[in-house]
Amino acid sequence: MYEYGCLDCARQFERLLPMNAADQHIVIVCPFCQSTHVQRRLSLFAAHSRGETSAPAAAATTSGGGCSCSSCGCGSRS
């Protein structure tokens, strides 16, 4: 279960994603305004699952700053 916050209507909602969702680029759409400007609020198990993928493709995409979060630490992981 992941928590998301919409950047357009400022609502929060939850989405239940499969285990392998962390390895995929799934577009989450706000159920209220259909906006794709949503920000994932990282949960504990989700943060732990990140970084386990050693695929070069994943490193290339993550370095582009796809996530605009400033508080979840997804852009500054060690």
Binding site for Zn ion (CB under 5 A): 6, 8-9, 30, 32-33, 35
* Nearest-approach distance from CB 36 to Zn ion, in angstroms: 9
Q: Which residue's CB is nearer to Zn ion, number 8 or number 14?
A: 8
Helix (H, G, I), strand (E, B) or coil at 40: strand
* Nearest-approach distance from CB 10 to Zn ion, in angstroms: 7
Q: Which residue's CB is nearer to Zn ion, number 35 or number 43?
A: 35
Cβ burial of 50 (10 Å; 0-12, 13-18, 19+) is middle
The Cβ of residue 30 has, within 10 Å, a number of other Cβ atoms equal to 19
